Structure 1
Amino acid sequence: MTIVAGARILVADDQPDVVRTLTDPLRRAGAFLTFVRDGEEALQRVAGGGYDLVLLDMKMPPHDWGGLWFLEQMQERNAVLPCIVLSGEGQQRQTVEAIRLGARDWISKSDADKELVTRCNSQLETDFSRSVSSMIAGGPGPLAHAYSRYQSTVGGDLQYVGALRLIEETIRLIALIGLATSAPEQCGPLRRVRPGDLARPSFGHWAALLGELASHDKTSEVFRALAQHLRPENDKQIQDLNKLRNNHAHGGHDPSMADRERVLRVVDTWAHRLASTPFMIGSDAQMRFKGEDFEVSVLEHRGALPPRLTRLTLPQPVVLKAGPHLFAAGTAPVPLDPWFRVLERGSNGAGCTLGSFDGTKSSNPKAPLGEDHLTFTDSATGERGIRLADSSASWASVSSWFRTPTDVRDSGPTDG
């Protein structure tokens, strides 16, 4: 099976009948195609998440050369998504400019019926083969470290189990970003996840949380784009992955070769897609006025490395609270506390690291849920169950997401 089978490809061309005919070989090869008529709609679709590749006409709205406009906008947003130009007769100069602006390849429309599937497949193979190492080198810290741990598992059951664990960690991280960047008074109370479920959340609980938040139009745009990369149509793929995880963890199920290939393909696909929604998690931010803009000095948690100081420019001043923030193009920094915390002198001994929520713990099992402490996973080491001395890391700080914050300690049915 080729990589193009199952790939989600965005096709931007203002001649829909012509381009549908040109791209029919991709449809027959198993690709899922979405058609838009101009660069502005293409940009909106890419920002919304869930695509693997863009096929781009040069001469379309907006302006005379909307394809070049689209590529310029992608460059400004640091969005990494492979684009292949569909080049018409007499567009050599514009095609060269498109390559300069980041397009990966070009195909003459007159040769599309013969070359399109092969060239698209080749480009996706290249990007997918690099996706894990690219995430480790430059992805947001929690994802980069998780992918680094996965990369250390090689072959057989270890790689399969490592892939399933990484998939769960990715779902958890994106769900937590949804909680941290959205307002509970607009999106809550949660209905598919009960308070007790978060004492020891399972794959199924994180998947349910992701699905519920993703279906709400009041969650943050950056979260909805990230969630769309993981579930471009619905939750079916994640539900299927959960079944594979449970079969292996609880039933001793020996996965088939097709199961293994499917799970490893998900790992590569998600890493590839997540790169097209660039965001950064930073902590210890300090802002100062610089000319007409505002410069923020921030510890950047990027790549599988200790955090490092970087400087960002913001068009307007913002109030930066203590703790980690999410920085994304076109939006003000968003505080991630209490779902993410900075672990000072982290357990990896590297000064500080990010902790992400992984459950609750009580010193008195008979006490009300509201007295529980939040626990965190060290992003750098994967160590779980870290409890902070800070009293603000308690159930009370997250209880507004739930209808009954002092509910009994009953997590209900669980998938483990």
Structure 2
Amino acid sequence: MIATLSGTRILVADDQPDAARTFCSPLRAAGAKIQHVSDGHAAWDAIGSQPFDLALVDMKMPPEEWGGLWLLEQLANTRIRLPVLVLSGEGGKLEVIKAMRLGAADWVDKDSAAEQLHPACAKLLAEANAAALQNAAEQLPTPIAYRFARYLRATTTETQVSEGLHTIEAILRLAACIGMAASRPCPIPGLALSKLYRPSMGTWRDIAFALGRQAQTNTTAKRIVQALAPDTPSRTTVDALIKLRNDIFHGRTAPKSSDRDTIDWLLRRFAHRATTSLQLSLGVATSMRFDGTSYTLDTLLVRGTATPQPATHHVDRPIVDGTILLLDEAGSFADLTPLFASATSPAGGVRCVQFEGILEGADSGGGPIVKYSFGHGGDEDLPNPPPNTWPAVHQWTTS
């Protein structure tokens, strides 16, 4: 029996496209979605622009004689940990050893790839999916990491479905909030201002999916959407789960084991893609120093469910203490005000708070007042919420 790879996204880097199509036929028959590129540069660009679950990399291809090693070296210098299975031909054993040292997960002899590739890919993906949820709870930004932690603690079908739906909503919400905070405003079709007073899961879905289609949307926001729902079938699954949540809330149905399995599959796929391919970090600015030529910024990274951890970055302009930033390894950042803010928890620690809606009324200048909730997983009330307004909100809405 062929193990299903349904919905798995596999990048194949090989400069012999006809041979690649032949040995990938069993993967395609098992349901995998294959994307071919012909060299390491194209593979590097593809990995940086869209989600994959696994990469198959021919050792002997451009650039240089052993382009597969070049690609692995680029990946090793980042936080990208996409599983890579290398393909080696005659005389490439030394390069395979180098590839494994650079982080390749496994290798297959190219001459026997048609027979060995499918079971090797299935094994790697099974291992990755088994670890994905725990990795998400430990590594992803706190607003979604704590939801993964709660989902992992659920033990009954009812609680697994409930916590799983909350986790999917948190992912959509994070993508929507990052997108609206870090992108040039553009009206979202069908988004009335009234929907932002108390956004539903469906509202977050509508915003996140719409932002994913807009050219000017922040790249990280797009990548979050792609990791969750990169194609029509997965978006249809998200739509069905939103309907399920509404039906459960209104007493029209009860959670079933099949619902739990669908949610678990979706969350494991997202968690795997997000922890291996997205360089996604949120930080709270705490202090800044200027040496006459550059700024050194101290932050607290809000990652996982643990206490925020200190980090240092070099930036090109001043940042106000308490600002929530979207950070990347290249040193660039995006200010996420006012969709995200910092606040002090009842225990005295600095926490990230996230947009939850708009309060009734407006400030003295007529701007909509933002309502926040903790993004760290605590159930306590938010004391002294930051008094932020959202002047650009009307530029995102149609009425």
Q: Does TM-score exceed 0.5, indicating one fold?
A: yes
Residue 71 of structure 1: aligned partner: 72
Displacement of 1:207 after TM fit?
Answer: 0.5
Q: Determine if contact 1:284/1:324 at 8 Å carries over to the other structure.
A: yes
Indicate yes or no: 2:261 matched with 1:261. Answer: yes
Match of 2:394 in 1: 399
Distance 1:369 1:387, change over 3 A: farther
Deviation at 1:324, TM superposition (A): 0.7
CA distance in 2, matches of 1:50, 1:384: 35
SS across alignment from 1:396: coil
- TM-score (norm: length of structure 2): 0.91
Determine the structure 1 residue equivalent to 2:89.
88
State the Cα deviation string for residues 361-381 of structure 1 (Å, max 9, x = none). 2269xx999554211121123
Structure 1 residues 93 and 192, CA gap change in structure 2 (3 angstroms)? farther
C-alpha distance in 1, partners of 2:290/2:103?
A: 33
Post-superposition Cα deviations, 1:303-331, rounded to whole Å, max 9, x if no partner, equal: 2111121223x3x6233234110101336
Match of 2:351, as an amino acid? T
Q: Any conservation in 2 of the 1:3–1:124 contact (CA below 8 Å)?
A: no
- Which range moved further: 48-57 or 204-213? 48-57
**What secondary structure sits across from 1:136 in the alignment?**
helix
- Does residue 327 of structure 1 match 2:327? yes
Whole-angstrom CA distance in 2 between matches of 1:61 and 1:289 = 43
1:124 aligns with 2:137: no
Q: 1:370 to 1:350 in 2, by over 3 A?
A: same
1:287–1:92 Cα change, 3 Å: farther
Q: Secondary structure at the match of 1:355?
A: strand
Question: Equivalents in 1 of 2:365, 2:105: separation in Å?
Answer: 53
Picking from 369, 375, 378, the partner of 2:371 is 375
**Aligned partner of residue 87 in structure 2, secondary structure:** strand
Tell me which residue corresponds to 1:413.
Answer: none
Match of 1:175 in 2: 176
Quickly say closer, same or farther: Cα 1:162–1:193, change in 2 above 3 A.
same
Which one is further off, 325-334 or 173-182? 325-334
1:236 aligns with 2:232: no
Q: Offset of 1:3 from its aligned partner?
A: 5.6
CA distance in 1, matches of 2:4, 2:126: 7
Name the CA distance, whole Å, in 2 between partners of 1:109 and 1:75. Answer: 23
Which amino acid in structure 2 is aligned with residue 374 of structure 1?
V
The alpha-carbon distance between structure 1 residues 292 and 67, as it changes in their structure 2 partners (threshold 3 A), is farther
CA contact (8 A) 2:284 2:301 kept: yes
TM (norm. structure 1) is 0.88
Displacement after TM superposition at 1:5 (Å):
2.5
String of CA shifts for 1:99-158, please: whole Å, max 9, x gaps. Answer: 111111111112222221111111111111111111222222222212112212113111
CA offset at residue 29 of structure 1? Answer: 1.1
1:375/1:387 contact within 8 Å kept: no
SS of corresponding position for 1:193:
coil
Task: Indicate the residue corresponding to 1:318 in structure 2.
Answer: 317
Deviation at 1:230, TM superposition (A): 1.6
What is the root-mean-square deviation in Å for CA atoms of aligned residues? Answer: 2.5
Within 5 Å, give how 1:218-233 maps onto structure 2.
218-233=216-231
Q: Residues of 1 paired with 2:211 and 2:389: CA distance?
A: 22
Cα distance change, pair 350–55 in 1 and its aligned pair in 2 (3 A): farther
Aligned length: 394
In the alignment, residue 158 of structure 2 is paired with which amino acid? D
Q: Which runs of 5+ in 2 are unaligned?
A: none
Tell me what 1:105 maps to.
Answer: 106
Equivalent residue number for residue 248 of structure 1: 248
Letter in 1 for 2:188: L
Deviations 1:319-358 (A, max 9, x none): 32341101013361111110001012x14x2512111111
Asked whether the 8 Å contact 2:88–2:110 carries over to 1, the reply is: yes
Asked whether 1:38 is paired with 2:34, we answer: no
Contact 1:58–1:66 (Cα < 8 Å) also in 2: yes
- The CA distance in 2 between the partners of 1:350 and 1:256, in whole Å, is 41
Per the alignment, residue 192 of structure 1 pairs with 190
**Kept in 2: contact 1:22–1:113 (CA 8 A):** yes
> Any idea what the Cα deviations from partners look like across 1:203-249, whole Å, max 9, x if unmatched?
11000001111101111222222221122124323212222222322
Mean Cα displacement is larger for which, 203-212 or 139-148?
Answer: 139-148
| Contact in 2 for aligned 1:59/1:66 (Cα 8 Å) | yes
- Equivalent position SS for 2:391: helix
Q: CA deviation at 1:385?
A: 7.8
Structure 1, unaligned stretches of length 5 or more? 405-416
